[in-house]
Structure 1
Amino acid sequence: MAFPSPHDLPAEEAPPLAPSAASLSLLSIPGDTPEATDTYWLTHVYQGDRLPQFTLRSVLLGAGIGVITCATNLYMGLKTGLAFGVAVTAALLAHTSHGLLRRLTPGLAGAPLSPLETCNAQAVASAAGYATGGALVSVQGAWLIVTGQHPSGPTLLAWTFFLSALGVLFAVPFKRQLVDREQLPFASGAAAATTIRTLHSTGAEAAPRVRLLGLGTLLSGLITAARDGWGRLPASIPFPGSWGGVPLERLGFGLDMSLLSVGAGALLGPRITTSLMLGALIIHGLVAPRVFGSGLVSVEKGDFFEWCLWPGAAMLVTASLLQFLLEARILRRAWWGMFSRRASPPHPVDALQVPRTWLLAGLVVVVPATLVVANRGFGVPLAHAALAIAMSFVLCLISCRVTGETDATPVGALSQVTQITYGVLLPHQVNANLATAGITVNSASSSADLLTDLKTGHLLGANPRRLFLAQLIGSGVGALAVVPLFFLLVPDREALGGERLPAPAAFVTASVARVLSSGLGTLAPATRAAVGWAALAAVVLVLAERLLPPRARRWVPSPLGMGLACLLAPSSSLSLFLGGLVAALVGYVKSTTAEGRMVTLAAGVIAGEGLVGVGIVLVQALW
């Protein structure tokens, strides 16, 4: 398969090569126009025709790591409702495990992995470990709670794989706009790229960066072990005092004993993290005391986060859809380019993207297969299943954009959009409500994960179509591993809800489905008013981002960051804000070396908690 070579570009089109010190921590591709950015990437970043990438050993290595990470994420999700993002963890595990194999069996392991092979292994492992288990933890757990029985094994296996593959396919048209053009941060993907660069780097800057990566990993790992493994640290230290007659601890304000969010905040930057903090102060500091005081949510027993889902979902969906409409011309051109019959693409970079024939062939196979499984396995009428798939395409775009800007995938909030729709279309049918929500959860998770991996590959100069294949393989590996494990951990309804597997996400999803199956009319008027105000605020902020002068625009809070604050504990928003504050201070110094080392340290603290957290979950599962 032939790809355009960077050396085929005329010399006068190539911008000057970035300094090697900056290339270790490059988080965006320079260029004044999209064409200039593409040319710079193809000339100075792309390595797909120089280094091995999609090799058998990288796929097998990623599959093995993916089996481990999908098992730990499934267990952690059933235990706490949380899941580990595994991009950085998978990259480190791929590099270190292959290094160990080279020491034990040098003849079998072969030469060291190239950076792109490490990236490929990370993509397989990430797809297996993250993109396949989210719906099992929430929607399938809720299905078991509501119906009292599992779907058949083959049905659930096909459902998990086809929906993950559908999300991968849906994300393909968004890549050029969100990753290449807008260059959204995708903090976990950027951290994985920085980690891989550092592990494979040489020269004067290499040793200090490796030490910083190791220091961040060690420090974050020790804190995680002391907190989650040895029980010597609390999850967070609550702030004393009260606000509006409600204790600050009950409102969720405190200091997280975790460096992972601080590291992610440093990569997201000050604007998004400040918006998160502002949103947390408004929703948890101003709105929550009023909600508690009105009796809408009980201070002692009520879960304010369940109520927060409504305005949070409204703000995220409204902001993302409006941004989509404002960018419709650009996105329509990108989508049309996938299917047009033009003989030559407008830029050589387009020849490296996923071919339209692959996308069409995938959709022709996966969409009908999903419809059949939804109808026969879960009882959803074919027309309604087709509508759910069409809706999921738009919700995948929202998921990808929110993940790109905030590094969090709001699948719970997005599944509500589907559940609200089917509460109207199929009232009082809780099963159909849950099944269609499963389409959204799995496809949205998979789409966001693909673009996170494509961000890693874009910064490393990997071939995007090979990463697409790695994601599809990882989705298959994850489905084959996680579905049998789900049946093993959760043999029946009685396995959920106890001390061993509390499954909070499953019970929340089940309760939301029961409410929404009767329509929005069952919601309290105050809740419906909050949804309306949140949607209006999103419209105002998105339009302000567009219409204000550039100097004033940077002071406009991010509507996605403020919406996501409704779905996070205030302590998590504070940690992200502190990381963004560090990034702002380093940016104020305007030192390329300092910025590069900050990025490396941030990648280390993300990796440390991920690696140790996975290890703790494995120990808990085995013993």
Structure 2
Amino acid sequence: MAESDHDTVVSYDTPSEDNEKLEVERVFDGMEVPPWRKQLTFRAMVVSLFLGIVFSFIVMKLNLTTGLVPSLNISAGLLGFFFIKLWIKVILSSGVLPFTRQENTVIQTCVVACAGIASSGGFGSYLSAMSERTANATSAGSSQTTIEYKNPSLSWMIPFLFVVSFTGLFSVVPLRKIMIIDFKLTYPSGTATAHLINSFHTPEGAKLAKKQVRQLWKFFSFSFMWSFFQWFYTAGDGCGFSSFPTLGLQAYKYKFYFDFSATYVGVGMICPYIISISALLGGIISWGLMWPLIETKKGDWYSADSTSMSGLLGYQVFVMIAMILGDGLYNLAKALRRTLMELYVRYQGSNKFAVLPSVMSPPQEIPRISYDDQRRKEVFLNDRIPVWVAVTGYVGFAVISMIVLPHIFHQLKWYYILVIYLVAPILAFCNAYGSGLTDFSLASIYGILIIFIIGAWAGASHGGVLAGLAACGVMFNIASTASDLLTDFKTGYLTLTSPRSMFVSQVIGTAMGCIISPCVFWVFYKAFSDLGLPGSQYPSPYATIYRSIADVAVQGFSALPKHCLTFCYASFAVAILVNAVRDSINPKYSKYVPFPMAMAIPFYVGPYFAIDMCIGSLILFIWSKVDKAKADAYGAAAASGLICGDGIWTLPSSVLALAGAKPPICMKFLSRSTNARVDAFLNS
């Protein structure tokens, strides 16, 4: 799976001949792709600003209540299309510029970048954890004599976000070709968004395209109505179909259940089968074997009443991080090796057929490349973002951070920041790679890792709590924006949008978010005096968790439960070994070797989403067996419809929440014995 810039030596995997008839770009052949500067229109920026403000309020509300924020890519793409069409109708001018799918993609990118700061900015997690309210609530009843805190203020939140939010954009730009063209990562949300945008702009008269659009909207309608139906049964915690114990109550306790999520069923239909199987395998190993066995050691390996990182949570988080780092470092080394090999090929000078036999396939094995891949690759590689821009930007922001951040947080020394920026590209790559496989961004997990490293390094006596939380913010933003950028690059790749316009719109959206999000948070913070307190209207639950983690971190890694680091070393080694086995055996068998990155995510999250993905993969598999031609033609459209419908439902559900509307029914499941006790209590 390697490629050079010479068309004659391409050897990466390509779609089969059965799929070559799905040439979407032939449908758009008559439509000119505008230059990258013309994709960044004034009206696109105005619409992006408006939607960025709206989405920032939605994300902030979710952050401060449940702490769970869904992907907004699809919603942004849909509303961007709607508002530009409305703009054109209102203007009613013959000189109006045509609305292209590239402009639609730019709007989506800008809006998601803007609203993303409301999530990665830590207003519901590490930033709120610094406040006096959260500090007092977390340390109540403890033996702490002094409590570190830093209350929110626009005077430092805006500069802090401007310093840390752009670095992630530069960290993975040099690897965009490898991640999207060579590794062919799916980025399910980005792929679904691209299918949606393409469907909006498909020219009339393309028979296959029209059929694909009908399939997309059919599954979109089903997914949206199913999400709407489920909402009526979610009147409390643990209520609704998402908490349905489909495999029994004991299995449900260990997160083995089908939660009826159309999103992850769709993700399973887009991802390769081995990704879904890898995730399920990881869930079985962790929640089916490891965690139940470790629970038997409660009171010996870890405190019986421990619910923090010194308990079972410590195993779950750090074992997952170790496996992800092993997989990420292996693939990063593989990517760097590929880049060096391509540079070597270029260096051969006049002999354009010069190849390295150990990397390139023999000429007779060169596969055919579909028209779609040829066209998309041409546009994607045409407007290059020079490597020197990425390197200069990254180093520049690192230097600025080392100068500015210690003035905002005196506990955060410049050499702490230097270490963070040295390891950040590795963690950003890991997060972008994992997001490309499974659609999960684990930026918060990498932030927790940095809390432990910096908190333990600083220690309790030198402001380790605030230093750890501030360092978490740096890493959280870098890892989050890196995965977001590559997800958007995938959308741009599939819609023939220039990487330069994508990058610039991401920068503009991030700048908007660095101003809008703190102001939105400030409105909530000043309006609700109990914000961040347990039991309040806006409890900011993750703020308490992050504060507790920081309190444990200053004690060092010795605060982790017994044998936790041993499990971490083993997981790291297993991840590298599995990758080495896949790359060393015959390709005929290597496709059955699981991906450690996909296996690792359920270690913390749980296997329920993997069950959803496997059901999606099973649906596509059966469909392919029944009618392979239709499955190839409409599978991606159907999957995108499922993801889009569920994604769009987040908008009306958020509006209902903001309006104070609550579901009327709580559907919850009880064991027979518990149900008997409840009946006896009600009849007494």
Give the TM-score normalised by the residue count of structure 2.
Answer: 0.78
Structure 2 residue identity aligned to 1:23: E
- State the Cα distance separating 1:514 from its structure 2 match: 1.8
Contact 2:158 2:518 in 1 (8 A): yes
Q: Matched residues in 2 for 1:50 and 1:423: separation?
A: 44
Larger deviation, residues 283-292 vs 497-506:
497-506
1:173 to 2:174 alignment: yes
Pairing 1:472–2:507 present: yes
Query: Quick check: 1:546 aligned with 2:577?
Result: no
Matches within 5 A, 1:417-456: 417-428=449-460, 429-456=464-491
5+ residue gaps, structure 1, are: 1-8, 27-42
Distance in 2 between the 1:73 and 1:535 partners? 34
Q: Which residue of the partner structure matches residue 281 of structure 2?
A: 278
- Offset at residue 540 of structure 1 (A): 1.8
* 1:385-396 equivalence runs, <5 A: 385-396=417-428
Q: Structure 1: how far apart are the matches of 2:251 and 2:495?
A: 44
Task: Please state how far the C-alpha of 1:278 moved relative to its aligned partner.
Answer: 0.9
How has the CA–CA distance of structure 1 residues 248 and 443 changed in structure 2, closer, same or farther, with 3 Å as cutoff? same
> In the alignment, which of 440, 443, 453 is matched to residue 408 of structure 1?
440
* Preserved contact between residue 264 and residue 606 of structure 1 (Cα < 8 Å): yes
Shift of 1:550: 0.9
CA contact (8 A) 2:59 2:118 kept: no
- 411-420 or 106-115: which moved more? 106-115
2:501 is the alignment partner of 1:462:
no
Q: Could you tell me which of 629, 635, 640 is aligned with 1:603?
A: 640
Residue 477 of structure 1 aligns with an amino acid whose one-letter code is M
Q: Within 2, Cα distance between the matches of 1:191 and 1:351?
A: 24
Cα offset, 1:95, TM superposition? 1.2
**Does 1:487 pair with 2:558?**
no
Task: Find the counterpart in structure 1 of residue 189 from structure 2.
Answer: 188
Could you tell me how far 1:229 is from its partner in structure 2? Answer: 5.8
Question: When the two structures are aligned, how many residues end up with a matched partner?
Answer: 589
| Aligned residue in 1 for 2:72 | 86
Is residue 247–residue 256 contact of structure 2 (8 Å, CA) maintained in 1?
no
Deviation at 1:357, TM superposition (A): 5.0
Question: Retained in 1: the 8 A contact 2:168–2:482?
Answer: yes
Q: Is 1:234 aligned with 2:237?
A: no
Distance 1:109-1:46 versus aligned 2 partners, 3 A rule: closer
Structure 2 Cα separation of the partners of residues 493 and 605 of structure 1 = 40
Q: Which residue of 2 aligns with 1:29?
A: none
Q: Is the 8 A contact 1:176 1:334 kept in 2?
A: no
1:213 is aligned to 216
The aligned residue for residue 617 of structure 1 is: 654
Show the counterpart of 2:154: 153
2:85 is equivalent to residue 99 of structure 1: yes
Larger displacement relative to structure 2 (425-434 or 113-122): 425-434
- Relative to structure 1, is the Cα distance of residues 117 and 183 closer, same or farther in structure 2, using a 3 angstrom cutoff? same
Instruction: Flag the structure with higher helix content.
Output: 1
Aligned to 1:23: 23
Q: In structure 2, what is the equivalent of residue 359 of structure 1?
A: 390
Match of residue 679 from structure 2: none
Q: Deviations over 1:385-442 (max 9, x none)?
A: 1221222122111111111111111112212332332244222211111111111101
SS state of the match for residue 206, structure 1?
A: helix
Distance 1:515 1:50 in 2: 49
Q: Deviation of residue 143 (structure 1)? A: 2.0
Conserved? CA contact 2:314–2:561, under 8 Å: no
| Comparing 264-273 and 62-71, the one that deviates more | 62-71
1:351 to 1:498, Cα distance in 2 relative to 1, 3 A: same
What secondary structure sits across from 1:254 in the alignment? coil
**Which of 607, 621, 625 in structure 2 is aligned with 1:570?**
607
Match of 2:270 in 1: 267
Range that drifts further, 480-489 or 215-224: 215-224
Matches within 5 A, 1:465-544: 465-491=500-526, 494-496=530-532, 497-544=534-581
Of residues 345-354 and 543-552 in structure 1, the stretch that sits farther from structure 2 once superposed is 345-354
- Cα separation, partners in 2 of 1:515 and 1:280, compared to 1, 3 Å: same
C-alpha distance in structure 1 between counterparts of 2:61 and 2:84, whole Å: 26
Q: Which moved more, 1:269-278 or 1:130-139?
A: 130-139
Contact 2:328 2:426 in 1 (8 A): no
**Bigger Cα displacement from structure 2, 393-402 vs 595-604:** 595-604
One-letter identity of the residue aligned with 1:432 = A
The match for 2:46 is 60
User: What's 1:39 paired with?
Assistant: none
Pick from 118, 124, 128: which aligns with 1:141? 128
2:260 to 234, 247, 257: 257
CA contact (8 A) 1:173 1:334 kept: no
Alpha-carbon shift at residue 300 of structure 1 (Å) = 11
Between stretches 254-263 and 205-214, larger displacement belongs to: 205-214
User: Aligned equivalents of 1:279 and 1:10: distance in 2?
Assistant: 39
- In 2, are the aligned partners of 1:586 and 1:595 still within 8 Å (CA)? no
CA contact (8 A) 2:43 2:84 kept: no
Q: Deviations over 1:325-354 (max 9, x none)?
A: 2333234578999xx9x9xx9998755111
Give the letter for the 2:333 counterpart: L
Instruction: Kindly state the Cα deviation for residue 74 of structure 1 after the two structures are TM-superposed.
Output: 2.3
SS at match of 2:326: helix
On the 8 A contact 2:174/2:387 being kept in 1, the answer is: no
* Alignment partners' CA distance in 1, 2:343 and 2:490: 19
- Segments of 5+ residues of structure 2 without an aligned counterpart are 1-5, 136-147, 354-376, 661-684
DSSP 3-state at the match of 1:150: coil
Q: Distance in 2 between matches of 1:46 and 1:81?
A: 43
Compared CA separation, residues 129 and 562, structure 1 to 2 (3 A): same
AA paired with 2:194? A
> Displacement of 1:464 after TM fit?
0.6
Mapped contact 2:117–2:514 kept (Cα < 8 A): no
Structural mapping, 1:298-309, within 5 Å: 307-309=315-317
Alpha-carbon offset, residue 170 of structure 1: 1.1
Q: Distance in 1 between matches of 2:571 and 2:267?
A: 26
What is the percent sequence identity of the aligned residues?
20
1:557-576 CA distance string (max 9 Å, x none): 11000111113232222112
CA gap 1:336/1:151 in 2 versus in 1, 3 angstroms: farther
Change (3 A) 1:219 1:299: farther
Matches of 1:482 and 1:522, distance apart in 2: 35
- Cα RMSD (Å): 3.5
Q: Match for 2:230: what amino acid?
A: R
TM-score, length-normalised on structure 1?
Answer: 0.86
* Residue 38 (structure 1) aligns with: none
What is the letter of the counterpart of residue 186 of structure 1?
Y
1:33 maps to what in 2? none
Deviation at 1:474, TM superposition (A): 0.7
For 1:248, which of 247, 251, 266 is the aligned residue?
251
Cα 1:512–1:97 change in 2 (3 A) is same
- Partner amino acid for 1:548? I
Structure 1 contact 155–377 (Cα < 8 Å) conserved: yes
Could you give the per-residue CA deviations for residues 202-234 of structure 1, whole angstroms, max 9, x where no partner exists? 321233323222222222222222333663843
Instruction: Give the whole-Å Cα distance in 1 for the aligned partners of 2:32 and 2:312.
Output: 47
- After TM superposition, the structure 1 stretch with the greater mean CA deviation from structure 2, 540-549 or 590-599, is 590-599
Q: Distance in 2 between matches of 1:100 and 1:229?
A: 32
Q: Provide closer, same or farther for how the CA distance between residues 326 and 180 of structure 1 changes in structure 2, counting only shifts above 3 A.
A: closer
Selected match of 1:116 from 72, 77, 102: 102
Q: Are 1:326 and 2:326 an aligned pair?
A: no
- Output the CA distance in 2 between the equivalents of 1:226 and 1:335: 55
**Residues 394, 301 of structure 1: alpha-carbon distance in 2 compared, 3 angstrom cutoff:** closer
What is the match of residue 371 of structure 1?
Answer: 402
Higher Cα radius of gyration: 2
After TM superposition, the structure 1 stretch with the greater mean CA deviation from structure 2, 56-65 or 17-26, is: 17-26
Counterpart in 2 of 1:76?
Answer: 62
The alpha-carbon deviation at position 115 of structure 1 amounts to: 0.9
The answer as to whether partners of 2:69 and 2:119 remain within 8 angstroms in 1 is no
